[in-house]
Chain A
Amino acid sequence: MPQSAEKVLDHAPLFREPEYRQMLAEKKLNFECPHPDQVVTDQREFTKTWEYREKNLAREALVVNPAKACQPLGAVFAAAGFERTMSFVHGSQGCVAYYRSHLSRHFKEPASAVSSSMTEDAAVFGGLKNMVDGLANTYKLYDPKMIAVSTTCMAEVIGDDLHSFIENARDEGSVPRDFDVPFAHTPAFVGSHVDGYDGTVKGILEHFWKGKERTQAGGTINIIPGFDGFCVGNNRELKRLLDVMGVSYTFIQDASDQFDTPSDGEYRMYDGGTKIEDVKKALNAEATLSLQHYNTRKTLEYCEEVGQATASFHYPLGVQATDELLMKVSAISGKEIPETIRLERGRLVDAMADSQSWLHGKKYAIYGDPDFVYAMARFAMETGGEPTHCLATNGTSAWEAELKQLLASSPFGKDAQVWAGKDLWAMRSLLFTEPVDLLIGNSHGKYLERDTGTPLIRLMFPIFDRHHHHRFALMGYQGGLRVLTTILDKIFDKLDRETSETGVTDYSYDLTR
């Protein structure tokens, strides 16, 4: 009998016990009708070839293991970054269960959102009644300061009009006349979660800014972070830098506290977020900066329309990207970058110099959201690495062109390839045919690590199978230090593993590296 009370075996060792191994072998043989082992091995080997890669990359319709999610996820994440705001997703209810689960699995935190729970009758007659009843219930039960409405694909296909529905709901008294209900149409069949983020932030700004007069407050800056699984660490780190500089700024959309509430006996359904008063005042800012260009294209357009200066970045991570952000902030605010920050920068550069021999010439495959991939490729090149494969399932042709320009600017980027719109099954072929030293992505990359043996570094949303990484910043010089250390740890751990065989390879098992 394999199990015992004394030493309880978990699933991994339990099913490796002889009784279970025999049971599973017999199940396969007698009941599964499997393909012969040789056929399976042959197919497995075939998938590692260039021939398979060509077929794989030629796919036109099928998507396998994509690295993107749908618009409303971005909407729910975005809404979580505003003071006491409840996400109300109009459409089928199962979607909302999915968004909440997805966010909770990454942040290890509560994620609240409600659905208008539309079913078949609503598909026929429209979801107005669901909106009217739903807003009333949400307002009464969850005591929000604002309800941010977005849509699932069901509501989009049947063409529900959010604006008129919300007005109807007001007329029926679901929420008070002056209660804030911004909205955004977020069809799942257009773009990805980064676009849902964009639409929602734009919807909220429009709701508060439309028709209001703007009185420019010189030197003040709005910062829009974009969809960021590391918002907890990143936003706090950036605020620290801006505070050190003495800049007058407003984070527009800041989920860093919402997704990092303390455990002290009280469940906070809402915590932190951009104050509604601050959103209103943000109209007067001199400039709005986006930390992730491809998350905020429409929002920045709108900011320009109201008369603000705008600038966008690609997930400011590493030395030069942080330099550029700080210099831009300095230029707008008129505040100098203080000596303490220059010292911080120097410390990151110092660390990179100390470790450069281990990083020079390392080949990377990087995937994730467009701005992150751009940032990571840039930082890899700063450390002497070569970003061999840069892939964003939700990358556009504009992203591809911009990234290619970056790669062309450095000798370390000359062999790099950019894969816009491709998925992780394509990445599998790339890794087999043109292998790299390190894979940078999210938890979904673990299947690539298993199949191809490429060590995976998790630096992108979603991270389900490692805990708490998102609590630490990746942006800024401090963030760069963390990314650098994470990469180095992966390299050294692998090296130790490969040189640890006693009496065989352990001459290279160096104490000092």
Chain B
Amino acid sequence: MSLEYENDGALHAKLIEEVLSQYPDKAAKRRKKHLSVAKSGDEAGEDGEVLSECDVKSNIKSIPGVMTIRGCAYAGSKGVVWGPVKDMVHISHGPVGCGQYSWSQRRNYYVGTTGINTFGTMQFTSDFQEKDIVFGGDKKLEQIIDEIEELFPLNNGMSVQSECPIGLIGDDTEAVSRNKAKEHEKTIVPVRCEGFRGVSQSLGHHIANDAIRDWVFEKKDVEFEAGPYDVNVIGDYNIGGDAWASRILLEEMGLRVVGNWSGDATLAEIERAPKAKLNLIHCYRSMNYICRHMEEKYGIDWMEYNFFGPSQTEASLRNIAKHFGPEIEDKAEAVITKYRPLVDAVIAKYRPRLEGRTVMLYVGGLRPRHVVTAYEDLGMVIVGTGYEFGHNDDYQRTGHYVKKGTLIYDDVTGYELEKFIEGIRPDLVGSGIKEKYPVQKMGIPFRQMHSWDYSGPYHGYDGFAIFARDMDLAINNPVWDLYDAPWKKKTEPSTAIAAE
């Protein structure tokens, strides 16, 4: 149920000009390429309707000193891809900070006895000291691996997540990992995700994918009886339980989810992936690499899907089912029918409270497009969106989602985002923790769209109810009407609606 609307492209073009005028010339020239207003697209492209064209320069270096919101390769590998693999110990190899700041912050839910057979919400660090920098840390890493084996014997493997200094001092974590893996008969995966590599989290994803290919696949005899409906879910990190709210639908339609990467995953789920029939990829940006590899090497097809909001969920269920034939297609229809009353009830309850409200998004590599239709299902309008670390193919795909006139910003700076929000005054901003409080100070409702603001799941039908409720409670809270002291300024008429 795509909403029909067009955004105020003229205003957005003016805002772009205004922010660029504030930069030193050299920086303005570089930033200009990252900002645009979505133009009308070709009516129908190869992969369906293209609503707009939102080409900007992307996946290139951030400009120094402008307050980029991006993170680093380590964040992409340890924080995103590897960290959620629950039965492995992930060593943040280097100084203490990286592991400390990322400790338990991505809400990759899992079931297990933490510290005994699962290790997700723990911070294992080699806590580098000056002597480790001077003399190298390989000996220390060997000792760390031995100590992990002794104190956490039920770990099913380890990964060594390199922080900046490792690559600079020339440590050979590969050799250490290889030797120790042999000695302990365990999988040990060195990941060269030093934070200075690449331009954002994105290269960290890629390096982490390559590490799966090089250090996990075909390393063990995997005993597993494959079935005709085996799928891997790739790129669902189970934030607030997203992967669980997705899995339940895939199983209901008769598929067997043999691996979920990497939320709530065990190493076994990764090892057996090449035996599946189809790879279903949710976060394309972070895990397309390994899907392409599995396609080339093992002939496994992959397809993208989107479980945000009922329109995309329905379309995705049908697309996935098509791959498996009439029996699964019938079951998929049954699933859609089963959940339709829930969807109707959620929309009936929340759409009147959210209709026409405008939203600006700025998230990572998937959600800036994937959540668009979920908002539109609730009658909300997307006026601006952008990626921290998207590539060209992400912006191409964005054209399938956003309308003409939408403001597009790549690797937005703190300054630009603030000015865009001030100029547009949307009814809601969806971004990250660093953006949350500045936006709220301006009196604009905000939801964290990385962590679901400690809520979730947002995937699937069960998640959509929570998503709708959360957007409602953010926008319709009475606090936004209390900002002006009555003796200073006339207050705006109330827009909040009491909870039902």
Contact = CB atoms under 8 A, between A and B. Distances in A.
Interface of A: 1-6, 8-11, 14-15, 19-20, 23-24, 27-28, 31-35, 39-40, 43-44, 47, 52, 55-56, 59-66, 68-70, 72-73, 88, 91-95, 97-102, 104-105, 108-120, 122-123, 130-131, 133-138, 140-142, 152-154, 157-158, 187-190, 192, 261, 263-269, 425, 428, 444, 447, 451
Most chain A CB within a 10 A radius of its CB, from B70, B342, B434: B434
A24 B244 contact: yes
Given A104-B434, A157-B165, A189 B111 contact: no
Given A97-B434, A154-B196, A65 B122 contact: yes
B68 A265 contact: no
A141 to B, nearest CB: 5
B269 interface: yes
B196 A120 contact: yes
Contact of A55 (B150, B165, B466): B150
Interface string B363-389: 000000000000000000000000000
B456 A114 contact: no
A267 B442 contact: yes
B472 to A, nearest CB: 10
B483 A265 contact: yes
Nearest to A1: B342
B164 interface: yes
B440 interface: yes
Contact of A3 (B62, B127, B462): B462
B64 A130 contact: yes
B37 interface: no
Interface in B137-179: 140, 143-144, 147-148, 150-151, 153-154, 156, 163-165, 167-169
Most chain A CB within a 10 A radius of its CB, from B117, B342, B442: B117
Contact of A10 (B23, B432, B455): B455
Nearest to B94: A153
B140 A61 contact: yes
11 contacts: A1-B339, A19-B248, A28-B111, A64-B122, A94-B98, A113-B67, A116-B65, A133-B27, A141-B413, A189-B94, A263-B479
A6 B345 contact: yes
Contacts of B96: 63, 66, 68-70, 188, 192
A43 B154 contact: yes
Interface in B64-97: 64-75, 87, 94-97
A137 B479 CA distance: 36
A97 B95 contact: no
A278 to B, nearest CB: 26
A73 B97 CA distance: 8
Nearest to B201: A94
Given A62-B147, A93-B70, A152-B164, A11 B130 contact: no
Interface in B338-355: 338-339, 342, 345-346, 348-350
A3 B442 contact: no
Contacts of B268: 31-33
A10 B466 contact: yes
Contacts of B22: 140-141
Contact of A23 (B63, B244, B443): B244
A110 B437 contact: yes
Contacts of A157: 133, 164-165, 168-169
B37 to A, nearest CB: 22
Contacts of B432: 101
Contacts of A39: 154
B437 A104 contact: yes
Contact of A116 (B64, B109, B129): B64
Given A56-B151, A113-B67, 6 more contacts: A6-B349, A70-B95, A95-B97, A136-B24, A141-B66, A263-B479
A4 B345 contact: yes
B474 interface: no
B65 A98 contact: no
Interface stretch (B4-12, B99-107, B293-301): B99-107
A158 B479 CA distance: 49
Contacts of A24: 111, 244
B57 to A, nearest CB: 16
B126 interface: yes
B462 A14 contact: yes
Contacts of B346: 5
A62 B93 CA distance: 10
B116 A261 contact: no
A140 B68 contact: no
B252 to A, nearest CB: 9
A194 B20 CA distance: 38
B251 interface: yes
B240 interface: yes
B128 interface: yes
A92 B196 contact: yes
B117 A35 contact: yes
A92 B72 contact: yes
B22 to A, nearest CB: 6
A141 B465 contact: no
A192 B97 CA distance: 9
B356 interface: no
Contacts of B103: 65, 444
A93 B116 contact: no
B247 A137 contact: no
Given A4-B342, A5-B345, A137 B143 contact: no
B418 interface: yes
A220 B434 CA distance: 39
